[in-house]
Chain A
Amino acid sequence: SPRFIALCPTSIPSSAGEGACIEEEQRSRSELRERFLRTLIKMSNKPVNFDMYEGVQVRAKFGASDIDVLNFQVSELQTPIGVQKEALLRCHDMISFSFDV
């Protein structure tokens, strides 16, 4: 899949040294990814502030994310021109977002 090609380690291990290197990369990737997934789970149903491009700032309740981190489902989105009950935000439109735990 395209997702795999983008993430895939570039070299095939041909020696024990490179194999250990791949293993370290796998361990590192697992820990980082699990922590990120747990962050998204923690964010469920919480109010989140989004800083987006073009100086746009909005607030919404976080619902769910796809695993490729491309789209967020949110509800009660407070836009500059009113509230949209359900919405899909593009992660590429965002610079950062924040919430309290």
Chain B
Amino acid sequence: AAGWRTITAPQERPGERRSAEMKRLYGENAARIQAMETAMQLNFDRNQDRIQPKYWPVIPLKL
């Protein structure tokens, strides 16, 4: 009966950890900030997949 625990229990869900981090940083406003950030990042990721823009300039100006 103990066997399944060793398989499932240590599994960390990234979403949960991010929520905990957001809570620590933003307190009672964490959910609102996280919702805004998630929408923004989703939009960015979707564009990256769809458009695949190239860096300009190719080499960073400031190393």
Contact = CB atoms under 8 A, between A and B. Distances in A.
Interface residues of B, number: 29
Interface of B: 17-18, 21, 24-30, 32-33, 36-37, 40-41, 43-44, 47-48, 51, 53-57, 60-62
Contacts, number: 96
Contacts of A79: 56
Contacts of B61: 52-54, 56, 90, 93
B25 A34 contact: no
Contacts of A77: 56
A64 B24 contact: no
A93 B61 CA distance: 5
Contact of A37 (B28, B37, B44): B37
The 4 A-B residue pairs with the shortest CB-CB distance, nearest first, are A26-B27, A30-B29, A4-B21, A86-B53
A88 B40 contact: no
Contact of B40 (A56, A64, A93): A64
